[in-house]
């Protein structure tokens, strides 16, 4: 029962999220999967490591294909996405914790920046929530 309620909450969160919030969810999911891949690698659970890395790569690929190529910032973001994706590939092939950490660092920077953007947009749209 509790699981069904959690699933309903998650579905509602995704269905009511703004595009910016959905992007933030993707970044958070990617970071979660990289953390899980790291833990699996440390525990010599190679199947789980592979699965988690592939999930993180799928998210990065989604971020890459949805990036507006006409936006000036896209020319700066795409190589970083590509590097993170490649680092995950190397981590998967070579069981390389450093490559996992490199990908995590890049995606964490993107997430932190995006989180600020989403928060500023909320303030812009709804005010800071403090009554005058």
Report the C-alpha gap between 20 and 35 in whole angstroms.
23
Mean pLDDT by groups of 10 residues along the chain of 132 residues: 60 73 97 98 98 98 95 94 98 98 98 95 76 47
**Among candidates 45, 28, 34, 54, which has minimal Cα distance to 98?**
34
Q: Quote the CA–CA distance of 17 and 58 in Å, as a whole number.
A: 20
> Cα–Cα distance between 119 and 123 in angstroms, integer?
6
pLDDT at 127: 75
Class assignment of domain 18-125?
A: mainly alpha
Structure token digits, residue 61: 């690929």
CA-CA distance, 132 to 125, in Å (whole number)?
A: 17
What are the boundaries of each domain within the chain? 18-125
- pLDDT value of position 122: 85
What is the pTM (predicted TM-score) of this model?
A: 0.84
């Amino acid at each position: 029962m509790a699981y069904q309620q959690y699933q309903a909450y998650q579905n509602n969160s995704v269905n009511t999220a703004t595009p910016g919030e959905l992007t933030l969810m993707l970044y958070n999911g990617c970071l979660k999967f990289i953390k899980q891949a790291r833990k699996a690698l440390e525990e010599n659970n190679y199947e789980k490591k592979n699965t988690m890395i592939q999930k993180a790569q799928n998210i990065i690929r989604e971020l890459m294909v949805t990036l507006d190529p006409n936006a000036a910032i896209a020319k700066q973001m795409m190589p970083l996405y590509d590097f993170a994706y490649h680092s995950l590939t190397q981590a998967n092939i070579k069981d390389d914790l450093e490559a996992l950490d490199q990908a995590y660092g890049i995606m964490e920077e993107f997430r932190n920046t995006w989180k600020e953007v989403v928060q500023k947009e909320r303030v812009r749209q709804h005010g800071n929530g403090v009554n005058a």
